[in-house]
Chain A
Amino acid sequence: MLRTIVKSERVLKITFGISLFIILCMGGFAYKHVRKLVDSFNLVEHTYEVNVQLEQILSYLKDSETGQRGYLISENTEFLQPFFSGRENTNNTFARLKQLTKNDTVQQNNLKKLNTLIDKKLKALDQILTLTNENKLNSKQFNALLIEDKKIMNEIRSKVSEMINHQNELLKERKKLSTESLSNTPIIIYSVLILMLLLLLLTYFRINKNLKILKFKNGQLEVFKESTNQSEIVNKHSTWTYFTEENRYEFSDNLYRLLGEQPQSFEPNLENFYQFVHPEDVNHVTEQVTKMMETENLPFLYYRIVQKNGTIRHFKAYAKVLVSSEDNTRRVLGTTADVTEEVQSFKLLEERNLELERNNKELSSFNYVASHDLQEPLRKIQTFISRLEDKEAASLSEKGILYLDRIKKAATRMRLLIDDLLQFSRTNKSEEAFAVTNMNIMLENAKQELAEMISEKDAKITADAIPMITVIPFQIQQLFTNLIGNSIKYSKKNTPPIITISYSKVKADDVLKLKKPKYNYYHKIVFTDNGIGFEQEYAENIFVLFNRLHNKNEYSGTGIGLSICKKIVENHQGYIFAEGKINEGAIFEVFLPLK
């Protein structure tokens, strides 16, 4: 869930960033375009202004000429007013033109030439005026000056016209540019608007989608919070948070309940919490909490609290630091559980265990003593039967001899039972020392032990090489003897028994029938025979003490052998399983841990 939110947040951020960037770029672009448009309008306006100023200069000069002619005709000095103000006006216009055409070198040069011409023109007018004042109106010099003046005026007109033409050329270009800009403006504005609309829609859909996800997640969070509250109440545990940077605590409602208080009934801080801690545990808890603040870690901490009604409860606390991936803030998340019942159960269990151990010891010693002490009277019975057979057999009737034979058989069986029982009780003692043992020697010893039976039944035993294993040697030898002996005993009549012993190393996870294995690998030793077999439904029962599948008259035995096998394997923390089919044989699988 967190990953989805983080991903969604990242996508939102990227979308927002890109949208912002595009909008700003488009805004900048539109702004530049509008500026360009305004500039092009300004340039057109500027061109007109230059033309007007040039026309103005001509107008001033014409006024000067007209004024001068008026004076020449009337000799009235009032006519000279435009002539006297002509220079100043022309200077003002030149100042304006100089500023207006400062970026146009062609016009600047033209202005200089025009200035020179006007200067000449004004000087000529001055001279004409001087000659007029000197009454030389009909002199040759005067006429020449008039002609020169006209010539200069024509040059001025031509120059002004040239400059206006230049401005008109510029005007044409600038108008073209401004028209282009003007025609592009609606397209650009529409494009910007459409793009912004698209971005707005995209952002809206994205936010809407995220909002839905957020709502859904919020709902989930509510459910999770409620189920956590319920879980805390049912399981008697609570949570708390320590904000390291703010040195602040937050307690869950159930922590208050565990302390025997109403939820959020006091301010969640250490001072208030310590009031509930058992006086004997306060120092220990304070020490651990101080350590937690330094190391931001709290290993399992056990302590007691005293509720206001005097009830003592046992608490177990654990905490772990959590660093936020968002802003790197650190928080210590803690869990406190009420383990009073567990502590009480544990104490009870300990007592029961001790009692059980005591009882087991007593039972084992009883078994041993009982079976050992039973041998002594049985030995006497068998001795006296033997004497009866040897010395009094002649005086016994036929029936007496039959009864004696039955007593003898019963005693022998009794002896066998006691021997097996003694062996079983010895097997119970698991404190025997483990040693790295050559299993092949153990197997050979077992075969030696059963040599007579093997020879009698003409049994064939084949075995894989078994590696060295850490076992209790004499128990393993007993295990091999019992399993091989069992296969020979329950062989088919008139069919020599064939026993195959195979070895392999197996992984615990690969063998499903191994319940709660403590080790990862096991030695697997399988005993397969071609005997009479058994119904698979009895596969479990055959390991039960004194349990027999066949009549004791048909097959001899006490029903203890396979129980001893199971006991030995369990002493080694191993497993033993049996599989069988009537008249096809039996398979015994022994799993010993690979340590």
Chain B
Amino acid sequence: MTLTTRRSVTKAAPARHRPRRKDRAVEALWGYAFIAPVGLGLAVFYLWPVLQTAYFSFTEWGAFGGHTWTGLENYLRLAVDPEMGRALVNTLTYTVLGLLAIPLAIVFAALLNTKGLRGVGVYRTMFFLPVVTMPVAIAMVWRWLYNGDYGLINQVLSLVGIDGPNWIADPATALPALVVVGIWSSVGYNLIIFLAGMQAIPKEYYEAAAIDGAGPVRQFFKVTLPLLSPTAFFVSVVSVIGSLQLFDLVYVMSGSGSSARSNPAFPRLETVVQLFYERAFVTNDRGYAAAIVMALLMLIIALTAFQFRLQRRWVHYG
């Protein structure tokens, strides 16, 4: 950011004012002064805890503080913990399936972007509503929708003679059911971003394409999609990170708190952050919990770096 601004400043006004070395130092100082409040907040509330957590992941940390250095023991335990493996598989499956929200959001955004469509604001609000709703409230409502005996979904299915399952208590359906809620609650956010991305595409491209004889479908694939790829890249990075940190939705939907474990589908629902929560705050195994989140942090960094590498293949910047 700072690089580009500086370059554009010097480019724009080279003749009028040649900044001296001292001026630039003062300017930089002001810059740091302005970001200091945010930087300080980040350092105190994010960076410091992360460093502390990293340290604690090499210790055995009691319920009330007081820790002893155990070296790599937590990580060795983590490597062979079947529960961690299971939670990792669930989390990654959820993340991959959750990516379906992106094409879905693009389609909806394209529909909303149709010229002359009436009531765009109403649709936009409708799609965006789940985003501003508390995840816990969403989870509670969906829990009832999915209820095997009294849920709305199974009531509707019974009208056509289908005996629906206990959606979130059945190991076969629990994770897909969770993914549906995840997509439903995130599609609105993605849609707004894609809509903005589409509206930023210059009209001239479409006019040129139309003159060349491209119909609406061809225009969508040849103009809209490629020019939307930077937006799609941003959305996919953000949603992968979000999915990997999934907690509140599954915490409430699987049976709220300690009873979640008695859900027969729990082995298919448990996420990495949920396991972290239980180790840190329920079973008082905090050093181990710290190792779990450090592993998750590494995974997030690795997957994000991987996405940045991959983007060269498919992202077009105008």
A, B from the same assembly = no
A residues whose Cβ falls under 8 Å from a Cβ of B = none
B residues whose Cβ falls under 8 Å from a Cβ of A = none
